[in-house]
Amino acid sequence: ATSLALGVPLISAGIERLTGLDGKNMILRSAILLTITVIFAISSYTGLKKGIQKLSDINVWLSFVLLAFIFIIGPTVFIMETTVTGFGNMLRDFFHMATWLEPFGGIKGRKETNFPQ
């Protein structure tokens, strides 16, 4: 229920952005909700092994297609450089950030840094 409540406004906002339709329109949101519910009902009715597994497989493939589309159409060099830089920063700072306890943050005269948030 929570994923539907959070997902429907996001999907309708995406449709509004892509098509110009009013994303707050109750008919559009009802159609989105009905579509998601019907897909889930059909998937559940066919059984966990068949329906949910097939839905999961479709979801994984669509994710890869979207990733490839963004990688090819988008700023490829920027994506590659940001990925390598982010991975390097994670390797360099992982233990420091994972073990940081902010021991001096609450002492009078010391500034609270809220690291690593």
Residue-number span of the structural domain to which 21 is assigned: 2-73
What does the pLDDT read at residue 81? 97
Number of domains comprising the chain:
1
Q: What does the block give as tokens for 54?
A: 């097939």
- pLDDT, average across residues 44-68: 90
What confidence tens digit (pLDDT) does each residue in 76-101 have?
999 999 999 999 999 999 998 888 87
Cα–Cα distance for residue pair 84/81, rounded to 1 Å: 5
Place of tokens 């009905």: 34
Q: pTM of the predicted model, to two decimals?
A: 0.57
15 within some domain: yes
In whole angstroms, give the CA distance from residue 36 to residue 46. 16
- Quick check: 40 pLDDT over 70? yes
Is 78 a member of any domain?
A: no
pLDDT confidence band for 102 (50 / 70 / 90) = confident
Going by the DSSP 8-state scheme, the letter that residue 47 receives in this structure is -
Residue 105's pLDDT is 67
Do residues 23 and 12 make contact, with C-beta atoms less than 8 angstroms apart?
Answer: yes
